[in-house]
Amino acid sequence: MRHERPLEVAVLVQDVVVVLLSLLGASVLRESLIPLLPGLKASAPFRSDLHLLLVFLPAWALGAQRNGLHTLQSLTGPPLELVRKLLFTQAWGAIALVLILVGAQVAFNRSLIVLFLLLSTAALALSKSAQRRWVARAYGQALALLVGMSRAGRAGEIEQLRGRQVEVVEEWTPEALRARLREGGADEVVISPVVPRAGVRPLIEVCDEAGVPAFVAMERLDLDLRAPDAEVIGRTLYLVYSRHQPDPLALFVKTVGDRLAAVAGLLLLSPLLALISVLVKLTSAGPVLFVQQRGGLNGHPFPMLKFRTMRRGAEAERDALLAQNEADGPVFKMARDPRVTAVGGVLRRTSLDELPQLINVAVGHMSIVGPRPLPVIETRELLGSHRRRLSMRPGITGLWQVSGRSDLGFEEWMALDLQYVDRWSLSLDCAILLRTLPAVISGRGAH
């Protein structure tokens, strides 16, 4: 849920930009119509129309907020419902505009207002259509686990109005839910009112353990837990229990900053990326990039990119080397891995092999700062509270990287990741970034 709020803020900002451009477009269009329609008065400078925005935008934004025009639920729900919300929001803004301008006895141009309302409605409709397609691609794989529900009734509301895939967990025990969450890929858990009252709290505790929000029907108001959020889905009011919810505006800034920084980094470092590609290709057989499925946000697998640092076929040799694993926990590490090439060793010590992950950041798989993504097979082996590290988007750098990397034990690594997840802030990201360059230069813990 918390990862949707930055998207909703971005949608609202985009809608406001569309409204601003619509007023400019209406002013230009009206000026072009004056020679064709003699009844129109001569146009005034555009700046004289700005008072319309001072009246319209606050009322329109309030209407959009009340109608939920920017919410993920609206963008993934029935198209006709989205159109209804758009028209209601436009009507809200238009009525406020007329009442205030008339009441204040402010001169206004009726033809400009009509053009503005028509143009902004059409532009917003096109924008909403594009937003729906983008959200369908970005959130089409989001999965809700339904505990104590069938695929009908309330489960249908989750699927249709929240844009989720749904999966039923037939057993209502904490053990069954914990086992399913361990498989990964679940973004939220919805607990039905038919689950016995005594069994709801243990299920929420399992969700806390994994860092996944739990949606509980309103009947569970007396759970004696921390204060929940509330969310209406269809005709049902849910209490939403989530262990930690970062500030949505800060999370939005992080998301936008990640994408911009990744694109800028790819452009600025393109000569270095090209040079490394040539060196990898000339010094060992095989592809330039190594692509491996890693566990991303909430355990969703994604193809993580790195410059290839091992000889071709190295993955097939992993099992034969397990006896020499130097790491504790469900991860594999060797200080002197015989599969690493000469150039690969240099790339690893300098962390230059990680640069292609800027592409992963640009497309939204990763962040610049976050918990390090593990291979899917190792992600599935994470147990208990260690799975909570999956509730933040994985990063290229993080507390683990700047605190010693492979010199740290598995438990220390997990503790640092959980500290990052539970205490996340923009200032923490900035502090990690400032410590990253010295850590890379020193090469401490880089194997």
Interatomic CA distance for residues 437 and 434, integer angstroms: 7
Residue 426 located in a structural domain:
yes
Interatomic CA distance for residues 278 and 146, integer angstroms: 50
Residue 289 located in a structural domain:
yes
Residue 214 located in a structural domain:
yes
Residue 409 located in a structural domain:
yes
Three-state DSSP state, 248: helix
Interatomic CA distance for residues 164 and 414, integer angstroms: 30
Residue 447 located in a structural domain:
no
Same-domain check for residues 422 and 278: yes
Residue 373 amino acid letter? P
Domain boundary among 176, 208, 241: 241
Same-domain check for residues 198 and 253: no
- pLDDT classification of 355: cutoffs 50, 70, 90: very high
pLDDT tens, position by position, 210-225: 888 898 876 656 666 7
Which pLDDT does position 184 carry in this prediction?
A: 84
Over residues 30-37, mean pLDDT: 68
Same-domain check for residues 272 and 233: no
The string over 90-128, giving b where at least 16 C-beta atoms fall within 10 Å of a residue's C-beta and e elsewhere, is bebbbebbeeebeeeeeeebebbbebbbebbbebbeebb
- pLDDT classification of 133: cutoffs 50, 70, 90: confident
Which pLDDT does position 122 carry in this prediction?
A: 92
Over residues 432-446, mean pLDDT: 74
- Cβ distance 4 to 106 under 8 Å? no
DSSP per position, 71-124: SHHHHHS-HHHHHHHHHHHHHHHHHHHHHHHHHTT----HHHHHHHHHHHHHHH
Same-domain check for residues 115 and 217: no
pLDDT reading at 331 higher than 70 = no
- pLDDT classification of 305: cutoffs 50, 70, 90: very high
Which pLDDT does position 71 carry in this prediction?
A: 78
Which two structure tokens, joined as six digits, stand for 147? 């505990």
Q: Is 212 left (phi over 0), alpha (psi -120 to 50) or beta?
A: beta
Same-domain check for residues 85 and 162: no
- Backbone phi, then psi, for 190, in 5-degree steps? -115, 120
Rounded to the nearest 10 degrees, how much is the dihedral formed by the CA atoms of 128, 132, 134, 135? 120
- Residue showing tokens 């946000």: 297
- pLDDT classification of 155: cutoffs 50, 70, 90: low
pLDDT reading at 42 higher than 60 = no
| Average pLDDT value for the chain | 81
In 3D, which of 140, 138, 109 has the Cα closest to residue 46? 109
pLDDT tens, position by position, 388-425: 899 899 999 998 888 876 667 888 888 999 999 988 99
Over residues 72-92, mean pLDDT: 82
In 3D, which of 104, 89, 118 has the Cα closest to residue 23? 118
Residue 182 located in a structural domain:
yes
pTM over 0.75: no
User: How many CB atoms are located within 10 Å of the residue 151 CB?
Assistant: 12
Residue 345 located in a structural domain:
yes
Same-domain check for residues 213 and 194: yes
Which pLDDT does position 237 carry in this prediction?
A: 81
pLDDT reading at 369 higher than 90 = yes
Domain boundary among 209, 241, 273: 241
Same-domain check for residues 380 and 263: yes
pLDDT tens, position by position, 223-262: 667 777 877 777 778 888 887 777 777 888 898 899 999 9
DSSP 416: H
The string over 248-285, giving b where at least 16 C-beta atoms fall within 10 Å of a residue's C-beta and e elsewhere, is beebbebbeebbebbeebbeeeeeebeebeebbeeebe
Same-domain check for residues 22 and 124: yes
Same-domain check for residues 212 and 165: yes
User: How many CB atoms are located within 10 Å of the residue 224 CB?
Assistant: 5
Same-domain check for residues 256 and 387: yes
Number of structural domains the chain divides into: 3
Which two structure tokens, joined as six digits, stand for 65? 């907020």
Domain boundary among 123, 139, 155: 139
pLDDT tens, position by position, 332-344: 666 677 788 888 8
Q: How far is CA 294 from the centre of its chain?
A: 17
User: Domain containing 63: what range?
Assistant: 5-139
pLDDT reading at 103 higher than 60 = yes
- pLDDT classification of 276: cutoffs 50, 70, 90: very high
pLDDT reading at 52 higher than 70 = no
Same-domain check for residues 266 and 384: yes
Same-domain check for residues 361 and 339: yes
Residue 43 located in a structural domain:
yes
pLDDT reading at 446 higher than 60 = no
- Read off the CATH number of the domain in which 178 is found: 3.40.50.150
DSSP per position, 388-403: GGGGS--EEE-HHHHT
